[in-house]
Amino acid sequence: MKRSGFDYYAPESISEAVVLLSDLGENTFVMAGGTDLLIRKRHGMIFPDAVVALKKIKGLDRISVGPKKGLVIGATALLADVAAHKGIQNKYPAISDAAKNTANVQIRNMGTVVGNLCNASPSADNAPALLALGATLSIAGPQGDRTLALEDFFLGPGLTALKPAEIVIAATVPPPPANSGAAYVHLSARGKVDCSAVCIGAHIELQGRKVNNARLFVGACAPIPMRTPRAEKTVMRKVFTEKLAEKAGAAASEEALPITDVRATQDYRNSMVAVMTKRALLLAHKRARS
């Protein structure tokens, strides 16, 4: 019989959490804010035997911005705190914009940025900007610690490269290069509250007026947040203009693989990938110049 309750553990250290996860067996779930996990339980998608909560682990909620290490967002740092962090707003506005546009006030007071990534929803609002900025994840597990590029993390809807009993400890974003800018833009059916129908993360570096590097990602339009390399190529080593941004948008739209679902139709998503990619590039460019 499927049980309705579960055992609950709140370890105080990462190593203790890893040991618990290895010992307790497969049907054990890590919990940060629980805003995805408890919904999945409520909808009968999972019946956990045990939950290992991360909130009691000291220092895991840290957020730091430094000249060398860049931005570090700990596993239990809340969406609300990332959204309101002055240092992030200054140096990484695409990241705070994404956190601010995730869910609603209450959910941002409970849920985490790292939980949003680990949940691996194709429409995860915090993924595209972090991907565009080249984020990496610090992971702890029974075989020791490792670092993984966020780009190699998503494998499919709800699927990540985490091995059994591994925990993401933090997401790290390198310091932004000189003359670079990044942006996050999104579109959803009912304004701020619901999950995005299309979301874009863009990062560009300028050398003079020319684009020297570009990373573009589209969320909610493929089984995972996807990179659009042809759109990137469109802008590379060219003088940045609005026309160029529009061309890149058209290329991204051809690359994206959206489906029709409750949030939007395939056609609408295809059109909006073009529009939103262009807008993200224009904003990233503006930030790179200022």
Partner 1 sequence: MKHDIQLMVNGDSYSLAIDPSRTLNQVLREDLNLTGTKLGCGSGDCGACTVIVDGRSVSSCLTLAVEVDGKEILTVEGLAPSGEKLHPIQEAFIEKGAIQCGFCTPGMELSAYHLLSQNPTPSEQEIREGLSGNLCRCTGYNKIVEAISVSADRMNRKPSKRKSR
Ligand X SMILES: Cc1cc2nc3c(=O)[nH]c(=O)nc-3n(C[C@H](O)[C@H](O)[C@H](O)COP(=O)(O)OP(=O)(O)OC[C@H]3O[C@@H](n4cnc5c(N)ncnc54)[C@H](O)[C@@H]3O)c2cc1C
Query: Which residues lie near partner 1 (CB under 8 A)?
Result: 4-8, 10, 34-35, 38-39, 42-43, 51, 53, 55, 80, 103-107, 109-110, 191-193
Q: Which of 96, 116, 234, 270 binds ligand X (CB under 6 A)?
A: 116
Distance (Å, rounded) from C-alpha 81 to C-alpha 113? 10
For residue 108, report the phi and psi dihedrals to the nearest 5 degrees: -70, -25
Q: Which does 270 bind (CB under 5 to 8 A by kind): partner 1, ligand X, none?
A: none
**One-letter amino acid for residue 231 of the chain:** A
CA-to-CA separations, 269 to 132, 242, 245, in angstroms, rounded: 20, 21, 18
Q: Is 274 among the residues that bind ligand X (CB under 6 A)?
A: no
Q: Is 125 among the residues that bind ligand X (CB under 6 A)?
A: yes
Distance (Å, rounded) from C-alpha 173 to C-alpha 133? 7
Q: Which does 42 bind (CB under 5 to 8 A by kind): partner 1, ligand X, none?
A: partner 1
Closer to ligand X by Cβ: residue 169 or 288: 169
Distance (Å, rounded) from C-alpha 134 to C-alpha 149? 7
Q: Which of 28, 96, 102, 277 binds ligand X (CB under 6 A)?
A: 102
Is the separation of the CB atoms in 184 and 123 below 8 Å?
A: no
**77's tokens:** 């740092």
Q: Is 167 among the residues that bind ligand X (CB under 6 A)?
A: yes
Question: 137 — alpha (psi -120 to 50), left (phi > 0) or beta?
Answer: beta
What number of CA atoms fall less than 13 Å from residue 45's CA on the CB side?
A: 8
Q: Is 107 among the residues that bind ligand X (CB under 6 A)?
A: yes
Closer to partner 1 by Cβ: residue 41 or 238: 41
Name the minimum Å distance from CB 148 to ligand X. Answer: 12
Q: Which does 109 bind (CB under 5 to 8 A by kind): partner 1, ligand X, none?
A: partner 1
CA-to-CA separations, 106 to 74, 170, 212, in angstroms, rounded: 20, 22, 40
Closer to partner 1 by Cβ: residue 190 or 243: 190
Strand order in the sheet with 167-173: 63-66, 70-74, 167-173, 136-141, 144-149
Name the minimum Å distance from CB 162 to partner 1. Answer: 22
Q: Which does 58 bind (CB under 5 to 8 A by kind): ligand X, partner 1, none?
A: none
Stretch that binds ligand X, among 12-20, 23-31, 222-230, 258-266 (CB under 6 A): 23-31
Name the minimum Å distance from CB 110 to ligand X. Answer: 6
Closer to partner 1 by Cβ: residue 46 or 275: 46
Name the minimum Å distance from CB 251 to ligand X. Answer: 25
- Write out the residues near ligand X by the rule CB under 6 A: 29-37, 39, 54, 75, 79, 102-103, 107, 111-112, 114-116, 118-119, 123-125, 162, 167-168, 195
